[in-house]
A and B are shown apart, each in its own frame.
Chain A
Amino acid sequence: MGRYVVRRLLQMIPVFIGSTLLIFLMVNVMGDPIAGLCGDKQCDAATSAQLKKEFGLDKPVWQQYLTYMGHVFTGDFGTAFNGQKVTELMATAFPVTIRLTIVAILIEIVVGITLGVITGLKRGRPVDTSVLLLSLVVISVPTFVTGLLLQLLLGVEWGWIKPSVSTDAGFGELIVPGLVLASVSLAYVTRLTRTSIAENRRSDYVRTAVAKGLPRQRVIVRHLLRNSLIPVVTFIGTDIGALMGGAIVTERIFNIHGVGYQLYQGILRQNTQTVVGFVTVLVLVFLVANLLVDLLYAVLDPRIRYA
């Protein structure tokens, strides 16, 4: 187990370097960060050259990357061009997005797996067909349309929720945005669980468990569900990173001041430090979540052993 974790951590290094370098290059393509500093006016050449020197932008890209990463590992994500520390921005933005992601993941797990088990056990029945159809519709309607419609219906027409989330963004306010964020993944989780349950329902160990006279509840939860969850857990694990990055759209609709909001602002204002810093953290979250998923396999399926 220990050796496996070390090997996986070592494998994460090239992926981490590659992704951050890729985003570093993309942000560099994004345009001259100095131009964003002078607002709508053109910077004059002397100021521009001096600012470039000050921020180290006159050096080649690879050197900038190395310097930046060196700083990141000492906990310094640099300063946004408005003078605010990027770490300060993160301290206000990440708790909000983490709460939003937790709500979304919980909805995925509770609603998605429950629906998946029900439809998997009742394959071909009306409840199965209607849930399947509904999941297809949810997948086809883009998240921003779902979000706008729910905001209009629940927030404006019926007045069940506030149309935009306050700056505190407590769990209660985040339920509907979380549902919007989770919607597409929720449909995938339902379909994955359904397929997996329907496949395993015919397996030998389920038949044995039924033959032993175990109560139906126990067969489903302990035998069938536990063995069917592996693909679902993989999906949810990789989804954590995607949800945090994909929160841009949801946060924009409901005016939530989280990671997506900061990234959107950073990109619009060509604030390279903010963008690279936030993306670096998101990449780390994605990689760690994947590692945790791989370790969870052993818990779900005792046959899997890590040497």
Chain B
Amino acid sequence: MPESQEPEGAIAGTGAGGAMDLAVSEATTLEKGPDGTGPQDRPRSLWSDAWRDLRRNPVFIISALVIVFLVVISLWPSLIASQNPLKCDLSKAQEGSQPGHPFGFDGQGCDVYTRTVYGARTSVTVGVCATLGVAILGSVLGGLAGFFGGFSDSILSRTTDIFFAIPVVLGGLVLLSVVTSSTVWPVIGFMVLLGWPQISRIARGSVITAKQNDYVQAARALGASNSRLLLRHIAPNAVAPVIVVATIALGTYISLEATLSYLGVGLKPPTVSWGIDISAASAYIRNAPHMLLWPAGALAVTVLAFIMLGDAVRDALDPKLR
């Protein structure tokens, strides 16, 4: 792909900033060479190169630690919260922080700390399942359309256009307003239904770029079947942008779940969710802001962690941006 090689030369040749950056990066590679971080002569793959970059990136380390922590407490919330999130004492409603209950109590007298810890499970489940669904559906549809082109491609492009024209929150309100189930699955199903066009558009573009590469043409000339071309040659080289967008989308899905719960159509009690708790606390915000701040803070940190992880992965996978 001649296009991708050109900018590097151009950057090196232009203003002082570019030359400086290049010099700095050269200096660091030279520095790293001798201390045995990897033999210089063996070509590294995009993935091992990205991994080497990520391990040194503080943003990646911090966000990855936060995410690991979240996953652990959503699997075993009782590790750090010994009480029952559904056991509430009305006589303690809206009370502030006290020993054993660091975050105070909510409007129903439930322990805010316990509910915040248990809420992680819902958010992580919704985020991970919705992202997996969207990524699989979107990349299969987008990838196939990009690979085969022609009529199916036009149909898919027009279909994504249609989905983009409908505001997401609005679609959620309409579709989820009839749902009476209190599980997370309708919300996840809705996100997959309205979210796949975003990924499919990216997967399509990325497959179209990858299929023009010489090695794909060579494999085709050697008689490789379409499925082999797609799985062995195109997919590994086209999946990076999908991973990046999916990671960032994971954060936005968690945020979307909270927004829908705030509007009263997302999750419903007795499910413990940050969105439900924030929504309930918004009525008492003047008297007891702590009820809103703790779950909202947890939500913000979670979303931030996924977005920063996505940012770090993108920087590592896209050497052009460096």
List residues of A whose CB falls within 8 A of some B CB: 14-16, 18-19, 22-23, 26-27, 29-31, 136-137, 139-145, 148-149, 152, 156, 201-204, 206-207, 238, 241-242, 244-246, 248-249, 252, 263-264, 267-268, 275, 279, 282-283, 286-287
Contacts and interface: CB of A to CB of B under 8 A. Distances in A.
Interface of B: 10-11, 14-15, 17-18, 158-159, 161-171, 173-175, 177-178, 251, 255, 258-259, 262-263, 278, 282, 285-286, 289, 292, 296, 299-301, 303-304, 307-308, 311
B167 A22 contact: no
A139 B167 contact: no
A277 B84 CA distance: 46
Task: Tell me which of A31, A137, A142, A264 has the highest count of chain B C-beta atoms within 10 A of its own C-beta.
Answer: A142
A31 B178 contact: yes
Given A19-B165, A142-B299, A202-B14, A152 B286 contact: yes
Contacts of B171: 23, 26
A282 B169 CA distance: 13
A148 B292 contact: yes
B263 A249 contact: yes
A15 B18 contact: no
Contacts of A148: 278, 282, 285, 292
B173 A264 contact: yes
B158 A136 contact: no
Contacts of B296: 141-142, 145, 149
- Secondary structure of the B side of the interface? helix
19 contacts: A26-B175, A31-B178, A136-B304, A136-B308, A136-B311, A140-B255, A140-B304, A142-B262, A145-B292, A145-B296, A149-B296, A202-B18, A241-B165, A245-B168, A245-B169, A249-B262, A267-B174, A268-B177, A279-B170
Nearest to B174: A26
Contacts of A145: 258, 278, 292, 296, 299-300
Given A22-B162, A145-B278, A275-B174, 9 more contacts: A15-B165, A30-B177, A142-B300, A144-B282, A156-B286, A202-B14, A248-B170, A249-B263, A267-B173
A5 B308 CA distance: 40
Contact of B158 (A15, A31, A137, A242): A15
Contacts of B282: 144, 148
Task: Tell me which of B170, B258, B278, B286 has the highest count of chain A C-beta atoms within 10 A of its own C-beta.
Answer: B170
Contacts, number: 133
Contacts of B166: 19, 22-23, 245, 279, 283
Contacts of A14: 158
B159 A30 contact: no
Contacts of A152: 285-286, 289
Given A142-B255, A242-B167, A264-B263, A30 B174 contact: yes
A245 B167 contact: yes
B165 A29 contact: no
B170 A142 contact: no
A268 B161 CA distance: 28
A286 to B, nearest CB: 5
B278 A29 contact: no
Contacts of A248: 169-170, 173, 263
Contacts of B289: 152
Contact of B14 (A22, A23, A31, A204): A204
A203 B14 contact: yes
Contacts of A22: 162-163, 166
Contacts of B14: 202-204, 207
Given A18-B158, A140-B303, A286-B165, A202 B11 contact: yes
A26 B174 CA distance: 7
Contacts of A282: 167, 170
A184 to B, nearest CB: 9
A244 B12 CA distance: 44
Task: Tell me which of B18, B158, B164, B166 has the highest count of chain A C-beta atoms within 10 A of its own C-beta.
Answer: B166
A207 B10 CA distance: 12
B17 to A, nearest CB: 6
A286 B166 CA distance: 9
Task: Tell me which of A30, A148, A149, A286 has the highest count of chain B C-beta atoms within 10 A of its own C-beta.
Answer: A148
A246 B260 CA distance: 12
Contact of A29 (B158, B163, B175, B301): B175
Given A18-B159, A152-B289, A137 B18 contact: no
A201 B17 CA distance: 9
Contact of A27 (B15, B158, B174): B174
A132 B113 CA distance: 31
A241 to B, nearest CB: 7
A246 B169 contact: yes
Task: Tell me which of A26, A201, A244 has the highest count of chain B C-beta atoms within 10 A of its own C-beta.
Answer: A26
B59 to A, nearest CB: 10
